[in-house]
Structure 1
Amino acid sequence: MLKIGIIGTGGISRTHIDGYQRFGAECEIVALCDIAPGKAATLGAELGLTSARAYERVVDLLAAEDLDLVSIATPPSTHAELTIAALRAGVDVLVEKPMAPSLEECDAMIAAAAENDRILSVVAQNRFRDDMATLKEVLDSGLIGPVSHAQVSSSWWRGTSYYDLWWRGTWDREGGGCTLNHAIHHLDLTSWMLGAPSAVTAVLTNAQHENSEVEDLSVAVLQYDRALAEVTSSVVHHGEEQAIVVHGRHARVSQPWKVVADVAEPNGFPAPGGNPALVAKIEALAATHSPLDHEGHPGQIGDVLGAVRERRRPVVDGADGRRAIELVTAIYQAGIERRTVDLPLPPDDPYYHAGTLVERAPHFFEKTTAVADLPGDITVGSSAGSSAGSSASSSAGSAASDG
Structure 2
Amino acid sequence: MLRIGIIGTGGIAGAHLDGYRRFADECEVVALCDAVPGRAAAVRDDNGLTSARAYERVEDLLDAEDLDLVSITTPPSTHAELTVAALRAGVDVLVEKPMAPSLEECDAMLAAAAENDRLLSVVAQNRFRDDMATLKEVLESGLVGPVAHAQVSSAWWRGTEYYDLWWRGTWESEGGGCTLNHAIHHLDLTLWMLGAPRAVTSVLTNAQHENSEVEDLSVAVLQYERAVAEVTSSVVHHGEEQAIVVHGRHARVSQPWKVAADVAGPNGFPLPGGDVARVAEIEELAASHRPLDHVGHAGQVGDMLGAVRDRRRPAVDGTDGRRAVELVTAIYRAGIERRTVDLPLGPDDPYYRAGTLVERAPHFFEKTASVADLPGGITVGATATATDDRRDTTDERNG
Which residue of the partner structure matches residue 176 of structure 1?
Answer: 176
Kept in 2: contact 1:381–1:387 (CA 8 A): no
Which residue of the partner structure matches residue 401 of structure 1?
Answer: none
Which residue of the partner structure matches residue 254 of structure 2?
Answer: 254
TM-score, normalised with respect to structure 2? 0.99
Which residue of the partner structure matches residue 144 of structure 1?
Answer: 144
Write the distance in 2 (CA, Å) between the matches of 1:363 and 1:296: 34
Which residue of the partner structure matches residue 310 of structure 1?
Answer: 310
Write the distance in 1 (CA, Å) between the matches of 2:391 and 2:365: 22
Residue correspondence of structure 1 range 1-400 to structure 2 within 5 A: 1-382=1-382, 384-397=383-396
Kept in 2: contact 1:170–1:176 (CA 8 A): yes
Kept in 2: contact 1:372–1:395 (CA 8 A): no
Unaligned runs of 5+ in 1: 399-403
Shift of 1:397: 2.2
Kept in 2: contact 1:97–1:184 (CA 8 A): yes
Secondary structure of 1:253's aligned partner: strand
Deviations along 1:121-141, one digit per CA (max 9) or x if unpaired, are 000000000000000000001
The AA in structure 1 aligned to 2:370 is A
The AA in structure 2 aligned to 1:348 is D
Write the distance in 2 (CA, Å) between the matches of 1:358 and 1:317: 27
TM-score, normalised with respect to structure 1? 0.98
Unaligned runs of 5+ in 2: none
Deviations along 1:110-161, one digit per CA (max 9) or x if unpaired, are 0100000000000000000000000000000111111000000000000000
Q: Runs of at least 4 residues of structure 1 off by over 4 A?
A: none
Write the distance in 2 (CA, Å) between the matches of 1:177 and 1:53: 34
Kept in 2: contact 1:2–1:69 (CA 8 A): yes
What percentage of aligned pairs have identical amino acids? 81
Shift of 1:389: 4.6
Write the distance in 2 (CA, Å) between the matches of 1:136 and 1:33: 37
Kept in 2: contact 1:380–1:390 (CA 8 A): no
Shift of 1:380: 1.8
The AA in structure 2 aligned to 1:182 is H
Shift of 1:387: 3.2
The AA in structure 2 aligned to 1:275 is D
RMSD value over aligned CA atoms? 0.7
Secondary structure of 2:294's aligned partner: coil
Write the distance in 1 (CA, Å) between the matches of 2:381 and 2:51: 33
Shift of 1:103: 0.4
Kept in 1: contact 2:262–2:275 (CA 8 A): yes
Write the distance in 2 (CA, Å) between the matches of 1:84 and 1:336: 30
Deviations along 1:348-372, one digit per CA (max 9) or x if unpaired, are 0000000001100000000010000
